[in-house]
Amino acid sequence: MKSIGMVSLGCPKNLVDSEVMMGVLRRHGFQLTSDPATANVVVVNTCGFIDTAKQESIDTILEMAELKKTGSLEKLVVAGCLVERYRNDLRNEIPEIDAVLGTSQIEQIAEACSDPASFGRQEQANAGRDAITYLYSDQTPRVLATAPHSAYIKISEGCDRPCTFCVIPEMRGHFRSRSPESILREVEQLGAAGTREVVLIAQESTLYGSDLGLRHGLADLLDRMAAAGAVDWIRFLYAYPTTASDRLFEVMAAHDSLCNYLDVPLQHASRDVLKRMKRPGDRGYYEKLVDRARSIVPDIAIRTTFIVGFPGETDADFDELAGFVRTAKFDRMGVFTYSDEEGTGAYLLDGKVDPAVATERRDILMEIQREISLERNREHVGTVVDVMMEGRSEETDLLLQGRMRSQAPEIDGVVLVNELLDDESIPEEGDIVRVEITDAHEYDLVGRLV
């Protein structure tokens, strides 16, 4: 019986693919190990989105390839987004790779691990013939790689947006939604197994169901999910500014189990930059979106991301973005420097910004946000909030850590619990407890059990 090691890189959407592959492997009788050095076969599920992610994927593949010389590793299988972008290059330039699988082939992982040579010949024969159409269901086996109390659920796959900086359509195919019934069954299954929080993910979650003829697909799905009561907390990630509707915000405000958390990557605020990105809206539109969300869901936490250094971004464009960040006062924010990716529309644009300038602009924005984050966090001091516990702090065993509804797993800050009640046992992972916030830092909060 072969021992399989899985290395999963990239975003939560990629992690779900890795969980499916592990589920398929276990169903076929393979043993799974968390230590690649002891595995007979290693699967690297890669990310290929931007330069840093591609480099991490290549470095990991080469690191695993070394195990063929020093460990028990017999076969190396590479899967995921990098394969969709550089399938032939990977085969030709890294001979230690025994088989590659694209994003629509993940349920064929058992065949690839059992007989990589045969699978590779078949895969090469079919190269270029198969469209990227895969979509898992509630019947698909999964082995959760997250903590038992929290799980991701992919509600749709692919993207049809023309964003000029993005290669997702090339790697993930066209937009397609799972049926509401399949998603609801999966939530019920997870809840019955002890999961307390589900995080709905997609490339564009707020477009969910439009291809199925659903007008308010995500809002209605959340409404049904909350009414079913299978889990305690429900959140969704990756909203799109023009498909985040008032109906969605009204549903969020109506149910306690729906986390009042909006993750909406805006990418920029300058109309000119957004036009070159082929993104909708401008600063005024986005300011109205933020105001609408906060008026309908008063305690909502809003997270966004921006790209600086996009081709043609002028000092005036950046100043407008910085001004928007100062006035919008987002609860959470991430900033990326533009990555010039071949195969994208932006790759062909002129007016490339010096990387040093882009880095400086990123640092300026993050400094503005640090002050805003501290200000927003201080508003929580003295309040009592629900916190889902995650065990000991990653920084020190002397503290416990957990998350409020407004803190998404692996993305945002945490609540550090430094005072325990004498007559209470230490909360278990997944327990939802009441915590009084006593101190605030730029990204984390500190509190005590009450």
* Short-list 350, 356, 358, CA closest to 307: 358
Question: Helices in 6-130 by DSSP H: which ranges?
Answer: 12-27, 51-70, 81-93, 109-114, 116-125
CATH number for region 150-378: 3.80.30.20
- The whole-angstrom separation of Cα 425 and Cα 126 is 58
Q: Per residue in 254-306, pLDDT tens?
A: 999 999 999 999 999 999 999 999 999 999 999 999 999 999 998 999 999 99
R_g (Cα) of the chain, nearest Å = 22
Q: What confidence score (pLDDT) does residue 126 get?
A: 64
CATH number for region 3-125: 3.40.50.12160
Q: What confidence score (pLDDT) does residue 116 get?
A: 86
Residue 128 clears pLDDT 80, i.e. is over it = no
Domain locations along the chain: 3-125, 150-378, 384-449
- Mean pLDDT, range 385-403, rounded to an integer: 91
- Mean pLDDT, range 422-444, rounded to an integer: 89
Q: Per residue in 233-254, pLDDT tens?
A: 999 999 999 999 999 999 999 9
Q: Per residue in 327-357, pLDDT tens?
A: 999 999 999 999 999 999 999 999 999 999 9
Q: Per residue in 80-110, pLDDT tens?
A: 999 999 999 999 999 999 999 999 999 999 9
Entry field: residues in the chain: 450
Q: Which CATH superfamily is domain 384-449 in?
A: Nucleic acid-binding proteins (2.40.50.140)
Mean pLDDT of the chain: 94
Banded pLDDT at 424 (limits 50, 70, 90): low
Q: Can you spell out the DSSP letters for 406-446?
A: TS-TTTS--EEEEE--TTSPPPPTT-EEEEEEEEE-SS-EE
Is the CB of residue 40 less than 8 Å from the CB of residue 75? Answer: yes
Residue 131 clears pLDDT 80, i.e. is over it = no
Banded pLDDT at 129 (limits 50, 70, 90): low
How much is the pTM?
A: 0.95
